[in-house]
Structure 1
Amino acid sequence: MYDPTRLAALVAVAEAGSITRAAQRLGYTVPALSQQLAKLEREAGTALLVRHHRGARLTGAGEVLVTTARRVLDEMERARHELAQLAGLSGGRLRLGTFTTAGMHLLPPALTAFRRAHPDVELTVAGYEPPLGIAAVAAGEVDVALTHAYEPAAAVAVPASVAQEPVLVEELVLVTAPGHALTAGTAGAARLPLGELAGQPLISMAPTHPPRQGVESALARVGATPSVLVSTPSYVLVCALVSAGLGVAVVPEMVARMSATPVGVRRLEPGDLRRTISMVHRADETNPAVDGFRALLRGAFGRTGA
């Protein structure tokens, strides 16, 4: 049985054309590599190399053994890679889809932990506003996607090939400009009945965006008056407009707490306006990288925001 290390040494010499250059490539000293080659020749029972002043060349027996050695080393590397993937996700790739809020606030700490545990996994991240991430997973464009659904809202159809797992449920809360009467002082400590938004100038968040339509309808029913219509799903813009005093808004609690612009925050009564963030993946595929990421995200954010 030939030692794989010595087979790799012979292949390196065949490719480099010189024991000296092969030693440099492998990180060996020339004497150490020469010893490995001498042992391999003893194992083979014949000369494998002819040394000359310009380097070394293979004998006929060396050519035969190098051909076999390459196949053996390739198979061993493939096996090593597959076993490493199963044991520690060393290699492979993970293609993620995300929407803006999750990409800003959920993914960075999760991916930092994933990268620390599995540094050799190739990561790619693409943006998909919900529910487009579900279709991207079903089509094989990404391996796992973060998506969301609002309450109240019509249910989003999920293909049978896609599995969906909730990771975070959060209430929608009121945001106002700092110092606003509805959120300032002791008023901000108690829940605000939804009906108290009647007549308030509302920054309407994507009024034609399907995931938000149920929420927009609930706000319209209590008499909140649209002041500014934000026609694209951008909570960063909504909070900036609120902070500038152009109106109030109802946004997910995570958005409110992590707003880049200062806002006042107050919970609503009843607390039945919600957003559920889920991860979706193909149900019929086994992917160690996806499984590892799902477990990590489940452990970090598998809780309710209520």
Structure 2
Amino acid sequence: MYDPTRLAALVAVSEAGSITRAAQRLGYTVPALSQQLAKLERETGTALLVRHHRGARLTGAGEVLVETARRVLDEMARARHELARLAGLSGGRLRLGTFTTAGMHLLPPALTAFRRAHPDVELTVAGYEPPLGVAAVAAGTIDVALTHTYAPSDPVAVPSSVVQEPVLVEELVLVTAPGQALTAGTAGATRLPPAELAGQPLISMAPTHPPRQGVEAALARAGATPSVRVETPSYALVCALVSAGLGVAVVPEMVARMSATPLGVRLLDPGDLRRTVSVVHRADDTNPAVDSFRALLRGAFGRSSN
């Protein structure tokens, strides 16, 4: 039987398209993840990945194994979920913290599944813009939180009492008004070097949104000039302003895909501007509701990254 940790590593690479991005998603260093993949290739006796300048892709054998790996990992998640149910989730409570994007687009399906499995658990949901959710978990105000970090950015210290598990890594993409030249027609089918944003009016979320400051600095180095500064971390507002033609913006792919206002969208080259969504909980927490909810998140978020 193959090691589930190594199977999860292979699935992560297949979904992320590169070992580097998969390592970030799983919370590994690149050498550590590469070592897991090498061990899996030795176990199977065949090459599972082909490395190339843009990342990595599966071989034929890798594609076969990934399909089986997904089924195995899903079964294990269901088993963890069922064990949590048998552990006594007939009552109690689960206090959740979330930031706006996850609360609107990712949390509802997971909560629906949780409620279906555990109808007697009392649920509360509160809003915490990152990194405030981490502090709330550490203080015991909430049991679990969804938070995010951006790359590039300065690292955010996490208290030793808290465990932060990456569950979704997504690229940041360019959004424009519909029909704008940068995203219209065949131009939108190729990746855009950030240097092409030089001189474009940029709708910016800096300087009052610390998680975005590293991204904004990278865009500034590429020549993008802030035109409108949004003082609150509201992607809905940013997308509305972009849709109205007031400028362009760089937002998480999920935000662009689920925007309520029409947008033009284009991937950036080389795709190294990213947002990582993580679930945070206390290391010593024995609440079975937390374990069950984390298992549901891993399944739901892992599929949302495709």
For 1:84 and 1:130, the matched residues in 2 are separated by 28
2:257 maps to a residue whose letter is R
2:283 maps to a residue whose letter is A
How much has 1:210 moved relative to structure 2? 1.1
Kept in 2, the 8 Å contact 1:88–1:118? The answer is no
For 1:302 and 1:290, the matched residues in 2 are separated by 18
Q: Any idea what the Cα deviations from partners look like across 1:132-167, whole Å, max 9, x if unmatched?
A: 000000000000000000000001100000001001
Match runs of 1:122-271 below 5 Å: 122-271=122-271
1:280 maps to a residue whose letter is V
1:290 corresponds to 2:259: no
TM-score using structure 2 length: 0.71
Match runs of 1:57-136 below 5 Å: 86-87=86-87, 89-136=89-136
Q: Any idea what the Cα deviations from partners look like across 1:41-76, whole Å, max 9, x if unmatched?
A: xxxxxxxxxxxxxxxxxxxxxxxxxxxxxxxxxxxx
Sequence identity (%): 87
Kept in 2, the 8 Å contact 1:169–1:303? The answer is no
Bigger RCO (CA 8 Å, 6+ sep) = 2
For 1:256 and 1:206, the matched residues in 2 are separated by 19
Q: Any idea what the Cα deviations from partners look like across 1:164-213, whole Å, max 9, x if unmatched?
A: 10010000000000000000111101000111000000000233311000
Match runs of 1:15-26 below 5 Å: none
Q: Could you say which structure has the larger radius of gyration?
A: 1
Kept in 1, the 8 Å contact 2:171–2:252? The answer is yes
How much has 1:89 moved relative to structure 2? 1.6
How much has 1:87 moved relative to structure 2? 3.7
Kept in 2, the 8 Å contact 1:85–1:91? The answer is no
For 2:297 and 2:89, the matched residues in 1 are separated by 16
How much has 1:302 moved relative to structure 2? 2.4
Gaps of 5+ in 1: 1-82
Runs of 4+ aligned residues of structure 1 deviating over 3 Å after TM superposition are 83-88, 303-306
Q: Any idea what the Cα deviations from partners look like across 1:254-306, whole Å, max 9, x if unmatched?
A: 00000010000000001000000000000012110000000000011126837
Cα RMSD (Å) = 1.5
For 2:215 and 2:297, the matched residues in 1 are separated by 27
For 2:238 and 2:265, the matched residues in 1 are separated by 14
For 2:100 and 2:85, the matched residues in 1 are separated by 30
TM-score using structure 1 length: 0.71
SS at match of 2:137: helix
Kept in 2, the 8 Å contact 1:215–1:273? The answer is yes
Kept in 2, the 8 Å contact 1:169–1:304? The answer is no
2:109 maps to a residue whose letter is P
Kept in 1, the 8 Å contact 2:84–2:291? The answer is no
Distance 1:223 1:141, change over 3 A: same
SS at match of 2:147: strand
Gaps of 5+ in 2: 1-82
Kept in 2, the 8 Å contact 1:146–1:279? The answer is yes
Kept in 2, the 8 Å contact 1:173–1:253? The answer is yes
Q: Any idea what the Cα deviations from partners look like across 1:72-122, whole Å, max 9, x if unmatched?
A: xxxxxxxxxxx9964462111000000000000111111011111111110
Q: Any idea what the Cα deviations from partners look like across 1:10-43, whole Å, max 9, x if unmatched?
A: xxxxxxxxxxxxxxxxxxxxxxxxxxxxxxxxxx
SS at match of 1:199: coil
Kept in 1, the 8 Å contact 2:84–2:292? The answer is no
SS at match of 2:148: strand
SS at match of 2:165: strand
For 1:119 and 1:206, the matched residues in 2 are separated by 42
Kept in 2, the 8 Å contact 1:203–1:242? The answer is yes
Kept in 2, the 8 Å contact 1:178–1:243? The answer is yes
